[in-house]
Structure 1
Amino acid sequence: MVKRVSAFSAYSVALDESCDTTDTAQLAVYIRGVDNDYNITEDMASLQSMKGTTTGQNIFDELEKVLARFGLDYTNLVCITTDGAPAMSGQRNGVVGLLKTRMESQNIGSGSLIVLHCIIYQEALCAKTIHSQHVTNILVKAVNFIRSRGLNHREFQQLMADIEAEYSDVKYFCEVRWLSKAGMLKRAYELLEEIILFLDMKGKAIPELRDKEWRCDLAFLVDITDHLCALNVRLQGKDQLINELFSLIKGFQIKLRLWELQIRNHNSAHFPTLKNHDTSNLQYQKYGDKLAVLQEEFSERFNDLKKHSQAIEVFASPFSVDVEAIPEDMQMEIIELQCNDELRKKFDDSSVYQFYKKHVSVTVCPKLSAHARKMMAVFGSTYVCEQLF
């Protein structure tokens, strides 16, 4: 790792902090760097135990220790990605603010430093704007009655076996593990009649479960949560380039606009569960409003990513980018690239990474090459830290 780090021409860090089973704060520091030959190294640099406070200054001090251990200075640091907590992202006393101050004190411009709030965290926070407590609270109440008592749980499983239901059990919902919500909702929806039957048998009937409007709300929630979880899963994984993550977010925002328009026109083509219900005009408009709020939240939360959309476009689509809109120091190289039909064909026939690695050399296109290596080094999320924890 030390040997590879010494060859980095650009690198980024991803930080996240969590407490272990002994209540000791553990700071995970991951480094992702790229050398002049476009070889990408992504690995854990350190897991720092923090037994005292975990202020921005404490975390920053630990980060500096890690970078010093690997002989890394701030000259080639291009991005820092955190979970967005105040101690991490604060502009004065957070790690980001302290880092920029340190860079300025060393006469290293911090203006080009990319600061990102983990894309996966952002997406999960956006999902919480779909206010649905009146649905989830009822379901959690029903599921907890079934699963939190041993006798009830055994009797429910036996009932499922007796009536040969498709599933043998319901699922718990854990707020911390957000993806579990989709599984719980879908399973509860598919076993709704069986749940009603069991609760009636136990004298614990819940009237809302039979309410037509409540069922429509549940159906909408099942579908939109499924869409959000599918996006979340696609955002996960190691070694993803920032342009790939950015494309997923942009694509989902376009889908949201389409869904809102269709739902307001009583078209639930992309909401298969809701499609099975007789939904009123008032409900369609309510769901359209929820999708509009979700759009607005996505737009607001991903503003920090949008600021770098032009830089990402230059990297991901050099042959179609508007030359007049890009930084002047890259314009001549991009024009020559766009006029080279052979290179255009090679770009179309290979991945973005392979194109730069094989056909854009540091000597021929120094500015574009440096920009590409910077983009390749960017951490779009703190997924690797979460995976470690």
Structure 2
Amino acid sequence: MLSRLCDLQQEIANLLRQKNLPRADQFSDPRWLARLALLTDITAHLNALDMMLQGKNILVTDMSQGGGCGLQAFHCSLSLPVEDAPASLQMELVELQCNDEMKAKFRTSSPFSFFCDIVLPSNNFQKYIAHVQRIVTMFGSTYCCEQLFSKMKYTKSHLRSQLSDHHLNDILLLSTSTIEPDMEIFLHGKQHQKSH
């Protein structure tokens, strides 16, 4: 909206002058116009940043460039100097960094998929797994919370006034889950038609 205001500033000033409305002189004040341009630029940059941070799989490590040694131990676990890592993780990071197979897999995947697909199933790095689980539970943005509140507002409307908190919790869990049910497992072994 601000960029559109800047684009149409001459037309808006003319309209204000024709209607004898106040503030028409502001559109000829270079100091006010400079402030408007600055505000427009800042807002555009903040909107672009906001758009980058939206999404379901945005982690706090995606938002942070540095983030301290705790975040770096997740984001660059195989390239981080061991002495820069938290003391509790140093031994496991040495084992990870000495494993050539892990290094090759880390180079070809994202840190999150490396952790989920390779480290977690191996079950060998318990302290590192606990550390990564703490980081992954941190929201990278408020997108997930805002999305959940929107779904809750839509679900619990005045038409559904008898909806209990327990049922609302179940509905929200189903509507926000990304897990696809395996219908073959559900249907296997079930009798589809009852005999008389």
Please indicate, yes or no, whether the TM-score normalized by the shorter chain is above 0.5. yes
- In 2, Cα distance between the equivalents of 1:362 and 1:331? 18
- Does the aligned pair in 1 maintain the 2:89–2:127 contact within 8 Å? yes
- In 2, Cα distance between the equivalents of 1:358 and 1:332? 21
2:105 is the counterpart of 1:346: yes
2:93 is the counterpart of 1:334: yes
Equivalent position of 2:7 in the other structure: 190
2:125 is the counterpart of 1:369: no
Equivalent position of 2:40 in the other structure: 222
3-state SS in 1 of match to 2:56: coil
Equivalent residue letter for 1:371: H
User: What stretches of structure 1 of length at least 5 have no aligned partner?
Assistant: 1-183, 251-305
- In 1, Cα distance between the equivalents of 2:144 and 2:113? 23
Q: Could you report, residue by residue, the CA deviation over 1:228-257 in whole angstroms, capped at 9, with x for unpaired residues?
A: 11112222222322211224xx6xxxxxxx
3-state SS in 1 of match to 2:58: coil
Q: Which has the higher contact order (CA 8 A, sep 6+)?
A: 1
Equivalent position of 2:18 in the other structure: 201
Structure 1 segment 134-145 matched on structure 2, within 5 A: none
2:127 is the counterpart of 1:310: no
2:68 is the counterpart of 1:245: no
3-state SS in 1 of match to 2:64: helix
- In 2, Cα distance between the equivalents of 1:385 and 1:327? 30
Aligned-residue offset at 1:380: 3.5
Equivalent residue letter for 2:44: D
Aligned-residue offset at 1:334: 0.6
Aligned-residue offset at 1:209: 0.8
**Greater than 4 Å deviation, 4+ residue runs:** none
User: What stretches of structure 2 of length at least 5 have no aligned partner?
Assistant: 151-196
The structure-2 alpha-carbon separation of the partners of 1:371 and 1:362, relative to structure 1 and needing over 3 Å to count, comes to farther
Correspondence for 1:359 among 118, 133, 136: 118
Query: Sequence identity of aligned pairs in percent?
Result: 39
The structure-2 alpha-carbon separation of the partners of 1:369 and 1:385, relative to structure 1 and needing over 3 Å to count, comes to closer
Aligned-residue offset at 1:226: 0.6
Aligned-residue offset at 1:355: 0.8
- In 2, Cα distance between the equivalents of 1:229 and 1:379? 19
- In 1, Cα distance between the equivalents of 2:55 and 2:110? 18
Aligned-residue offset at 1:329: 2.9
Equivalent residue letter for 2:7: E
- Does the aligned pair in 2 maintain the 1:362–1:369 contact within 8 Å? no
- In 2, Cα distance between the equivalents of 1:362 and 1:339? 15
3-state SS in 2 of match to 1:207: helix
Aligned-residue offset at 1:350: 0.9
Structure with the larger helix share: 2
Structure with the larger strand share: 1
Aligned-residue offset at 1:362: 4.6
Equivalent residue letter for 2:102: L
- In 2, Cα distance between the equivalents of 1:204 and 1:378? 51
- In 1, Cα distance between the equivalents of 2:63 and 2:125? 26
Equivalent position of 1:151 in the other structure: none
Structure 1 segment 41-120 matched on structure 2, within 5 A: none
- Does the aligned pair in 2 maintain the 1:333–1:368 contact within 8 Å? yes
Equivalent position of 1:133 in the other structure: none
